[in-house]
Every structure is written in structure tokens, then in C-alpha cells.
Amino acid sequence: VKEIGKPERAVITTCAYCGVGCTFRAEMRGQQLVRMVPWKDGKANRGHSCVKGRFAWGYAHHADRITRPMIREAITDPWREVSWDEAIRFTAARLTAIKDRHGARALGGITSSRCTNEETFLVQKLVRGGFGSNNVDTCARVCHSPTGYGLAKTFGTSAGTQDFDSVEHTDVVLIIGANPTDGHPVFASRLKKRLRQGARLIVIDPRRIDMVRSPHVQADYHLPLQPGTNVAILTAMAHVIVTEGLADEAFVRERCDWDEYQDWARFVSDPRHSPEILEAVTRVPAADLRGAARLFAQGPNSAIYYGLGVTEHSQGSSTVLAIANLAMATGNIGRPGVGVNPLRGQNNVQGACDMGSFPHELAGYRHISDAGTRSLFEAEWGTPIDPEPGLRIPNMLDAAVEGTFKALYIQGEDILQSDPNTHHVAAGLAAMDCVIVHDLFLNETANYAHVFLPGSTFLEKTGTFTNAERRVQMVRRVMDPANGYEDWEVTQLLAKAMGLGWSYTHASQIMDEIARLTPSFAGISHARLEAEGGLQWPVNDAAPQGSPVMHVDGFVRGKGKFVVTEYIPTDERTGPRYPLLLTTGRILSQYNVGAQTRRTANAVWHEEDLLEIHPLDAENRGLKSGDWVRLASRAGETTLRALVTDRVAPGVVYTTFHHPDTQANVVTTENSDWATNCPEYKVTAVQVSASNGP
Ligand code: SF4
């Protein structure tokens, strides 16, 4: 503060890191951010924050920011800085030529969970209305797409059921595949507060996360399952609940499809699904599992919180279905203190999904094949919409390698680093005729780009983010964009150059269009958010003040749907060549691939990715903490340092994925969720051996 001087003005805005959605007062001096102060009236954070939101904003002013557009004919050519006008003309001409030659389905786009709802909505509108295909996808493909599938199928809509305040009424917290202390720190503090007040805790995680045992919190049960066995463990819990008469059949009869419940109950009751039989698969002691199941069923208010340890598996969607089954069977839906709560990773992953970023859905999770919904959008946009679902990200890359997919507009995502099987991503990108990267920094994906369009940070734009509790909150421009444009304006420039008659002059007009086209957003406008603060969708005539808790009187789909989920082992097996199972996660001070957190002037941000390995496995390999190790799978290999710890069980190793030097995704495989293609980041068979370093 001394160096920069005293602030002259302040603007209230929303954090751009995780799905908690903390509100901050951005204190400014001229065009320089002086400090971020957590705002006491923030509905999601109530004056609290974590280190990332509070301190990791230096990237906004970092010298690495690219602020002028660049183009090149071929990816082997050097970049050429050009005017915005030339860059947009070059890009539009290339896209149009590809569309004329190869057809609309040869083009696609990727929306960003780091961008606002308004920006995301415009990218999918450009793809659908301008490119003419439904080849639009989002980074949720690699994180919460199974949540979208599973919760839509069972409850009728793809979102968490509760607000954060709900935890104050919870008696039993079940955390599965999430590490709130590192991933969602402000909400973790609220969880811990409730646990200190006497709520009970069950943690299902292969690793002993902080919540299992921290200074004031001790889990009643930690079930350290074998990576890849989520469905087996949830089935075993359901077995105990049904066979011991602990299900809430009155709730199920009233709220759910009774016939489907009976089918499901028969399935889970089968003796082959008992904890004692499945212990051989999950490696969780049957007595612990029985105890945890009884505790959960007896609540009386039991809430489930989960993260990417649930979704990033070949059975990710099945696990989400199994979680929903468990909540319905025990009557834990539709009131404060209960529910199914995905802890969303990125700040606006909920919003990106809400805004129609999937190839089969228009905004508000309405299927593209529905002629009535399509005609609504066609009338508003004045362009036809392809009735066929488009390609997902992995399918776009496959089609590029096969020669049928030619152009990709990527807003705010570094797919080369964040998507699985890096070599395959590179091959797909290299095969395209036009890759457009719209981002803050020249990221790894930009090595394969023909156009680089400079992006704007959350401090340089106005719009909205939607947090993990469906709360739509204002993001306010606190400084001028370093590149001259907010991201939605760049998308509009491109749309206009491709002949579309867009004429937005403010992001609020985009939100008005979203509200006209999306029933769950019907009552949302910037004016209302400014006057009242964040609102939780659905906000419409049926819920004018929003919906903190969903499915109160009935499920969105009508009757809750039980789906039988058979445990199917992952193809990723250990063997003599790859004897250990790798799983991955985050640390508090870093964020995803570190594009922002690594560009901040504080030593804490430069912690390296480490490989956690159990003392027995380390001893077998002659390793000690700090040693360099080679981590290899059938997909690739990398080098990093070891951390010997009993946080992980024997046979399991763990690392984070924040540093480009490590590139953990070189090791992960092409395995993916059966329903959504979400990559199986959380289980990879690996070999670990001593190394001399990179
Ligand atoms: Fe930002 Fe999440 Fe930290 Fe809040 S908890 S300050 S939203 S990163």
C-alpha cells in the first residue's frame, strides 16, 4: 500500500477464483488496484475471504498480459501484432472460408467458466447463430459435466439443491471427493463452525484431507476408499440403509417414483452389495462403512457435499446418480440442512452451464431437439438453430485429427494444460486450420493458435457470475480494460464481422435477453441485482425472491427418479508395470493451472507440485521427501519431487496440477465418464521411480 499510495475510490465486485463467490471491495488509485477487502455484506462470504481472492490479483497488472491482438498464417510462423480491426477481419474471413468449404459443423467454440454469464451466453450464441453448429462446450466438460447429467436426470435440474446458509441446520455432513479447506476455503470455515457446534462428519476420500483431522474438527468416520470405487461404497451404504430399515419410505412414497425406488431397493439389498463383500473392492472396513451409513440415515438432517473426486471418473455420472439416490432414500432433500451440494470449482462454472454451453442444451438446460425451445431462440436471434446436438471437446479434437473439424474459438481456457492426454489435445489443435485463443496470457494452447485475441480480467468488465449456490452476483468494472475491450465486446466484433446484426451497448442488455429466453432467469436483471444484491435462481413468477433451497414441494421433474447404478471397475488397473494408483487435487494457494496465481509477487504462490507417497511405498523405492521422482503411466511421464506422508494409503500416490513444469495431465489417460466424457483424472495406474530431476 505504501508503494502504491492510498486508495481514492472503491467498487464492490465478486471474486474470480472459486465457486464460493466472495464479495470484495476493490480499492483503487487511478487505474491501479491497491487492495481487495472482503466485504462484510457479501451474501456468500459475510466479510471473510481466502488468500487467493484477497491477495492473488497481481496478474491483472502483470507484464505477461498480452494487450494487442496477434495473427499468423501458420502456427510455425512468428506472431504479428495487428490492430483490432485487422485481427477481427482476418479471423472472420478464415472462419467464413472454412464454413463455406467444410460446412457449419466443422466449426466450434469453448466457453469459459472464468468469464461472465453474459460473455458465455454470447460465445454460444455466436457458435449457434453465426457458425451454425451446436459444437459448443465448456470447461465443465472436464469437471462437473457428470453433475449436470446426474442431477438433471434424478431431480430435473442441474444444480446444487441448497444455499450455503443451509449448513447451519445440518446435523450430519457427508463430504465425498472434495477437499473444502483447499478448494472452497470460506465455505470450509462455515462447515467447520457447524462441526464445532456438534454436527457429525463423514469423509469419503482416498486421502486424509484436512477435514478428517484438524485442530478443532475430527471426522466421526473417514472411509479411505480405493480410488475408482465411489459407486461401490455408495451402494454398500445404501445396502445398509435399506436392509436395516433406515430408509424414509414415507418421503419416497410421497415425493419419488415408488416403483423405481423398489427396483433400486431390491438391487442394493442384494447380498453381493453388503459392506462385507464390497470391502474387497473398496478396502474400507465393513464396520466403519456400516457405522457411517447408520449415522447418515439417522441425521435427522444430513447433507452431502461433493467435488471432482466424484465426477472425474469413468463412473462419474453413476456416482452423482448414486448420491442423489442416497439423499432421496433418506428423505434428505427439500428443506434447510439437507441436500446434494456439488462444490463448484471455478467461479462461474455453474453460470457457464446455465447459459447453454453444452452441445445438447440451450440456456436453462433445455434440449436442443425441442422444437418449441429452438423456435423461441430463433425468433429472438433471427437465425436458424441446428436441431442436432453438437460435438463435445474430446469429440472436436478427435474430429480434427480425422480431418472433419477445422476451426475452434477458445475463450478463457488453456485446454492443452487442463484437458487430459496432452499429446492428443496437441494433435487435434495442430490439425485445425483456425484456432482462436481469446485469453489474458499467451498460454500453452496458444502455441497452436492462428489468432490471439487479448482478454479482459474480472476487474475490467461488468456482468454477472453464478456461484455454487446458484447465486447470480454482479461483477463490476473497476478499471479500464488493458486491451480496450471487455470480452463480450470482442465476441460482438467477431459476430458483426461475420454478418450478424448484434448491437449490444452494455452487458445489462445481454442479461435482459437471457431473462427473456430462460425461465429460471426471468426475474433477473442488472438493475435488480444492483438494488437487491445477489439472487438465487430460479427467480421468476413462482419464486420472485429467488430459491435458496430447491425441490421444496416437489422435484423440478415431478417425481424424484431412482436410477440403479451398477459398480463397474475402471479400466485403469494396477499391475507389475504400473503398480500404484495416482489421484489428484489442489492446494489452497494455487488455482488450477496457475495462470493467475503464479503471476503474483509473493513467494507463497510458487510452491511446486509434489508427489505424496506413503512411507512404505517410498521405502520400497529408496525415496525420501525432497527426492526427484519419475512419475510414469501408459500415457506419458513427468518429473517432480516426492513428499513422503501417510496422508495417502499404501498403493496410492497424489499430486496437484498447478505448474506447467510438472504437467500432471501428461500422465492422465484418455479414460472418461461413460455419459459425459468427463476425463478420469482421479485414477491413473502409475510407476514411481527415483530420478535425477528434470
Ligand atoms: Fe475467492 Fe473462493 Fe477464496 Fe472466496 S473462497 S476469496 S471466492 S477463492
How far does residue 154's CA lie from ligand 1's centre (Å)?
30
pLDDT tens-digit series, residues 279-337: 999 999 999 999 999 999 999 999 999 998 999 899 999 999 999 999 999 999 999 99
DSSP, residue by residue, 598-622: TSSS-GGGGPPPEEEE-HHHHHHTT
> What residue has cell string 490471439?
452
How far does residue 20's CA lie from ligand 1's centre (Å)?
6
49 Cβ below 6 A of ligand 1: yes
8 Å CB contact between 179 and 210 = yes
Atom of ligand 1 nearest to the CA of 51: 3
Strand order in the sheet with 535-536: 463-466, 471-475, 535-536
pLDDT tens-digit series, residues 184-212: 999 999 999 999 999 999 999 999 999 99
Does position 249 have pLDDT exceeding 80, yes or no? yes
124 Cβ below 6 A of ligand 1: no
pLDDT tens-digit series, residues 511-532: 999 999 999 999 999 999 999 9
Percent of the chain scored above 70 by pLDDT? 96
Residues sharing a CB contact under 8 Å with residue 688, sequence separation 6 or more, in sequence order: 580, 611, 613, 617, 621, 623, 629, 630, 631, 632, 642, 653
| Domains, the chain, with CATH or none | 70-139+355-459+483-526 (3.40.50.740), 145-342 (3.40.228.10), 580-690 (2.40.40.20)
How far does residue 412's CA lie from ligand 1's centre (Å)?
19
8 Å CB contact between 472 and 103 = no
What residue type is 176 in one-letter code? I
Atom of ligand 1 nearest to the CA of 17: 8
pLDDT of residue 141: 79
Residue 538 DSSP symbol? P
How far does residue 541's CA lie from ligand 1's centre (Å)?
32
56 Cβ below 6 A of ligand 1: no
Q: Ligand 1 atom 1: the closest Cα is on which residue?
A: 53
Residue 226 DSSP symbol? P
> What residue has cell string 465443465?
140
How far does residue 22's CA lie from ligand 1's centre (Å)?
5
Q: Ligand 1 atom 3: the closest Cα is on which residue?
A: 50
H helix and E strand count, the chain:
22, 28
18 Cβ below 6 A of ligand 1: yes
pLDDT tens-digit series, residues 71-97: 999 999 999 999 999 999 999 999 999
How far does residue 16's CA lie from ligand 1's centre (Å)?
8
Q: Ligand 1 atom 6: the closest Cα is on which residue?
A: 53
Strand order in the sheet with 107-111: 80-81, 70-71, 451-454, 434-439, 407-411, 107-111, 136-138
Closest CA to 169 of 199, 189, 192: 199
pLDDT of residue 54: 86
Atom of ligand 1 nearest to the CA of 24: 6
Beta strands in 588-674 (DSSP E): 610-613, 628-632, 637-644, 652-656
pLDDT tens-digit series, residues 433-456: 999 999 999 988 999 999 999 999
20 Cβ below 6 A of ligand 1: yes
53 Cβ below 6 A of ligand 1: yes
Of 14, 48, 52, which is best to mutate to test ligand 1, by the most ligand atoms within 8 angstroms of its C-beta?
52
pLDDT tens-digit series, residues 587-606: 766 776 666 777 776 655 55
Closest CA to 258 of 559, 618, 625: 559
How far does residue 180's CA lie from ligand 1's centre (Å)?
11
Atom of ligand 1 nearest to the CA of 38: 6
- Which of the residue ranges 41-55, 94-108, 122-136, 461-475 would you say has the lowest mean pLDDT? 41-55
15 Cβ below 6 A of ligand 1: yes
Per-residue CA distances from 340 to 105, 162, 258, 324, 551 (Å): 37, 7, 20, 7, 11
pLDDT tens-digit series, residues 637-651: 999 999 999 999 999
186 Cβ below 6 A of ligand 1: yes
DSSP, residue by residue, 354-393: HTT-STTEETTTEETT-HHHHHHHHHHHSS---SS----H
> What would the 3-class secondary structure string for 74-142 be?
CCCCCCEECCHHHHHHHHHHHHHHHHHHHCHHHEEEEECCCCCHHHHHHHHHHHHHHHCCCCEEEHHHH
Element containing residue 407 per DSSP (H, E): strand 407-411
17 Cβ below 6 A of ligand 1: yes
Report, as an integer, the average pLDDT of 235-263: 98
How far does residue 495's CA lie from ligand 1's centre (Å)?
33
Maximum C-alpha span of the chain: 70
185 Cβ below 6 A of ligand 1: yes
- Which of the residue ranges 239-248, 463-472, 655-664 would you say has the lowest mean pLDDT? 655-664
Q: Ligand 1 atom 2: the closest Cα is on which residue?
A: 18
How far does residue 42's CA lie from ligand 1's centre (Å)?
12
Does position 12 have pLDDT exceeding 50, yes or no? yes
Q: Which residue has the higher pLDDT, 660 or 482?
A: 482
pLDDT tens-digit series, residues 535-572: 999 999 999 999 999 999 999 999 999 999 999 999 99
pLDDT of residue 226: 94
Beta strands 463-466 and 628-632 are unpaired
How far is residue 461's CA from residue 448's CA, in Å, rounded to a whole number? 27
Per-residue CA distances from 249 to 194, 254, 303, 320, 551 (Å): 28, 8, 18, 21, 18
How far does residue 91's CA lie from ligand 1's centre (Å)?
36
581 Cβ below 6 A of ligand 1: no
22 Cβ below 6 A of ligand 1: yes
How far does residue 519's CA lie from ligand 1's centre (Å)?
29
How far does residue 11's CA lie from ligand 1's centre (Å)?
17
pLDDT tens-digit series, residues 111-153: 999 899 999 999 999 999 999 999 999 987 777 889 989 999 9
Does position 396 have pLDDT exceeding 90, yes or no? yes
How far does residue 187's CA lie from ligand 1's centre (Å)?
9
Does position 421 have pLDDT exceeding 80, yes or no? no
21 Cβ below 6 A of ligand 1: yes
* 625: Cα separation from own chain's centroid: 31
Q: What is the mean pLDDT of the chain?
A: 93
The model's confidence at residue 2, banded by pLDDT at 50, 70 and 90, is very low
How far does residue 603's CA lie from ligand 1's centre (Å)?
19
The model's confidence at residue 173, banded by pLDDT at 50, 70 and 90, is very high
How far is residue 319's CA from residue 322's CA, in Å, rounded to a whole number? 5
Atom of ligand 1 nearest to the CA of 54: 6
Of 18, 48, 57, 114, which is best to mutate to test ligand 1, by the most ligand atoms within 8 angstroms of its C-beta?
18
The model's confidence at residue 3, banded by pLDDT at 50, 70 and 90, is low
pLDDT of residue 422: 80
How far does residue 494's CA lie from ligand 1's centre (Å)?
33
How far does residue 54's CA lie from ligand 1's centre (Å)?
8
